[in-house]
Structure 1
Amino acid sequence: MKRVSAKQVAQEQQKQPTMQVDKVKSLFNDKIWDPTFQEDLKQEIHDSQPYNWGTIRDLVDDELLRKVRKEIETEIHFTSKETDIYKVNQSGDLANLSGLDWNDLSRLPSLCRLREILYSEVYRDVISHVTGAGKLSGSKMDMSINTYTKGCHLLTHDDVIGSRRVSFILYLPDPDKRWKDHYGGGLRLFPSIVANVPQSDHSAKLVPQFNQIAFFQVQPGFSFHDVEEVRVNKHRLSIQGWYHIPQKEEKGFIAGEEEAWVKTNTSTLAQLESKVLQDYEFPKGERDILPYHQIRHVDELLAAQSCKEGDSQSLPDLRLLSAKEMDFLSDFISPHHLTQEGINKLQSHFVEKSQLQIEDFLNDDRAEFLKQLIKKDEMEKDCPYESVNVKAPWKTAMPPHKWRYLYIDGKSHENFQNEQDILNKLNNEEMPNYTLLSQTLEDKKYQTETQLIALANFFQSSAFKKYLALLTLLSPLSEQVLIRRFRPGKDFTLATQIHKNDLLKQVEGFVDAVLEGTLCLTPSDGWESGEVGGYELYMDNQDEDENANKDIEDAAVYKSDDAGDSVLINKPPSWNSFNLVLRDESVLQFIKYISWSAKSSRWDVTVQWDVKTVDEDDHDENDNNE
Structure 2
Amino acid sequence: MDNKSLHKNKRDVDNLVIEEIPSKKKQKSENISTNGNKLIPELDINHMYTNGFELMKKQFNNELIDEKQSDSFLQNNYRDIRQPFQVTQLKQFIQDESMLRLLMKSISNLNLNRLNNDLYSLKQSKDLSKYSEFKPVCQFFQDKVRPFLQNLTGTTLNSNVALTISRYDQNDYLLCHDDQLDGRKIAFILYLVDKEWSSEDGGQLELFRCKSDDHQPLEVVERLTPEWNMFCFFIVQPYTYHQVSEVKTSRFARLSINGWFHSSDVTIIPRNYSFRYNHIRSWINPCYFVDNNIEDIQRYFVDKSEIQLVDFLRTEKYRELSEALRKIDEIGLWKKNYCPVLSRYEYIPRESLLDTVQTSSSKMPMNETTKIVQEALDIFTSEPFFLLLSNLTGVPLHPRMKILDNESEQDETKKDENNSKLGKCRAEIRKWQFGDYSLASDIAPEYSELSALDFQLYLNVKKLNETNEVQTETISKIEAADQSDEEDDEEVTFSDEDSNEEESEEDEDENDEENDEEEEEEDKDSNDSTWRGGGYICYCEKDSSQDLLSIEPCDNSLNLVYRLKGTHRFMKYINSANVHVPFNELSLVYYQPDDETS
Instruction: Provide TM-score, normalisation by structure 2.
Output: 0.67
Please name the residue that 1:609 is paired with.
Answer: 590
CA distance in 2: counterparts of 1:232 and 1:449, whole angstroms: 41
Say if 1:42 and 1:129, in contact at 8 Å, map to a contact too.
no
Q: Which of 138, 157, 160 is the aligned partner of 1:136?
A: 157
Residue of structure 2 in register with 1:584 after alignment? 564
Q: Percent identity at matched positions?
A: 24
For 1:24 and 1:205, the matched residues in 2 are separated by: 31
Tell me what 1:100 maps to: 131
AA aligned to 1:467 is L
Structure 1 residue 84 and structure 2 residue 118: aligned?
A: yes
- Does structure 1 retain, via aligned residues, the 8 Å contact 2:357–2:366? no
Letter in 2 for 1:592: K
Contact in 2 for aligned 1:165/1:218 (Cα 8 Å): yes
Contact 1:478–1:611 under 8 Å retained in 2 = yes
1:437 is displaced (CA, Å) by: 3.5
> CA 1:130–1:78 in 2, change beyond 3 Å: closer, same or farther?
same
The equivalences for 1:431-450 within 5 A come to: 434=353, 436-437=354-355
Classify the secondary structure of the residue corresponding to 1:530. helix
TM-fit CA distance, 1:528? 5.1
1:173 deviates by: 1.2
Q: Deviations over 1:293-349 (max 9, x none)?
A: x7xxxxxxxxxxxxxxxxxxxxxxxxxxxxx84541233212222333332322232
Q: How does 1:176-325 map to 2 (within 5 A)?
A: 177=196, 179-194=197-212, 197-219=215-237, 221-233=238-250, 234-245=252-263, 258=264, 261=266, 264-266=267-269, 271=270, 277-278=272-273, 325=276
Once the 2 structures are TM-superposed, how far is the Cα of residue 145 of structure 1 from its aligned partner?
0.3
List gaps (5 residues or longer) in structure 1.
1-16, 106-111, 246-257, 279-293, 295-323, 382-390, 413-433, 503-510, 542-557, 619-626
What SS does structure 1 have at the residue aligned with 2:534? coil
Report whether the alignment pairs 1:486 with 2:432: yes
Whole-Å separation in 1 of the counterparts to 2:298 and 2:529? 27
| Residue equivalent to 1:39 | 58
AA paired with 1:605? Answer: L
Does residue 540 (structure 1) correspond to residue 541 (structure 2)? The answer is yes
* Aligned residue number for residue 71 of structure 1: 106
Matched, 1:461 2:382: yes
Tell me the C-alpha RMSD between the 2 structures: 3.5
Q: Secondary structure at the match of 2:351?
A: coil
Deviations 1:453-497 (A, max 9, x none): 332122122332232232234224222111112221233232458
The alpha-carbon distance between structure 1 residues 450 and 440, as it changes in their structure 2 partners (threshold 3 A), is: farther
- The structure whose RCO (Cα within 8 Å, separation 6+) is larger is 2
Q: Report the alpha carbon displacement of residue 119 of structure 1 after superposing the two structures with TM.
A: 2.6
TM-aligned CA distance change 1:411 to 1:581, over 3 Å: same
8 Å CA contact 2:540–2:549 kept in 1: the answer is: yes
Cα gap change, 1:395 to 1:355, in 2 (>3 Å): same
Instruction: Report how far residue 370 of structure 1 moved.
Output: 3.8
Mark the runs of 5 or more structure 2 residues left unpaired by the alignment.
1-28, 33-40, 63-77, 399-421, 465-527
Give the direction of change, closer, same or farther, for the CA distance of 1:224–1:350 in structure 2 (3 Å limit). same
> Post-superposition shift, 1:48?
0.2
1:127 corresponds to 2:118: no
**Whole-angstrom distance in 2 between the partners of 1:78 and 1:466:** 51
Which of the numbers 321, 340, 351 marks the counterpart of 1:411?
Answer: 351
CA distance in 1, matches of 2:44, 2:113: 34
Report the 3-state secondary structure (helix = DSSP H, G, I; strand = E; otherwise coil) of the residue aligned with 1:77. Answer: coil
Partner Cα separation in structure 2 for residue 574 and residue 216 of structure 1? 43
1:407 is displaced (CA, Å) by: 1.8
Q: Distance in 2 between matches of 1:165 and 1:468?
A: 50
Tell me how far apart the structure 2 counterparts of residues 609 and 26 of structure 1 sit (CA, whole Å): 59
Q: CA deviation at 1:157?
A: 0.8
Residues 215, 355 of structure 1: alpha-carbon distance in 2 compared, 3 angstrom cutoff: same
Mapped contact 1:172–1:211 kept (Cα < 8 A)? yes
1: CA distance between counterparts of 2:447 and 2:166? 42
Note closer, same or farther for the CA distance 1:87–1:377 as it changes in structure 2 (3 Å cut).
Answer: farther
Distance (Å, rounded) in 2 between the aligned partners of 1:512 and 1:37: 54
- CA offsets 1:94-144 (integer angstroms, 9 cap, x no match): x3112233xx34xxxxxx5444333324x4333234434x1323x322110
Distance of 1:344 and 1:332 partners within structure 2: 21
Letter in 2 for 1:37: M
| Aligned equivalent of 1:331 | 282
Closer, same or farther: CA 498–155 of 1 in aligned 2, 3 Å: closer
Query: Quick check: 1:403–1:494 contact (8 Å CA) kept in 2?
Result: no
Counterparts of 1:395 and 1:487 in 2: how far apart (Å)?
A: 13
- Structure 2 partner of 1:170: 190
Tell me how far 1:604 sits from its aligned partner. 0.6
Could you say if the C-alpha distance between residues 218 and 404 of structure 1 is closer, same or farther in structure 2, counting changes exceeding 3 Å?
Answer: same
**Higher relative helix content:** 1
SS at match of 2:218: coil
- Report if aligned partners of 1:98, 1:141 keep a CA contact under 8 Å in 2: no
1:117 aligns to 2:123 (yes or no): no
Task: Provide the rounded CA distance (Å) in 2 between the counterparts of 1:484 and 1:523.
Answer: 13
Closer/same/farther in 2, CA of residues 135 and 277 from structure 1, 3 Å limit: closer
Deviation at 1:392, TM superposition (A): 5.9
- Measure the CA separation in 2 of the matches of 1:345 and 1:438: 43
2:457 aligned partner: 519
Shift of 1:514: 1.7
- Give distance in 1, aligned partners of 2:254 and 2:281: 53
Question: Partner letter of residue 224 of structure 1?
Answer: Y
1:355 paired to 2:300? no
- Partners of 2:443 and 2:296 lie apart in 1 by 29
1:374 & 1:232 partners in 2: Cα distance?
34
Aligned length: 450
Shift of 1:366: 2.2
Q: Aligned partners of 2:219, 2:156: CA distance in 1, in Å?
A: 33
- Partner residue in 2 for 1:341: 292
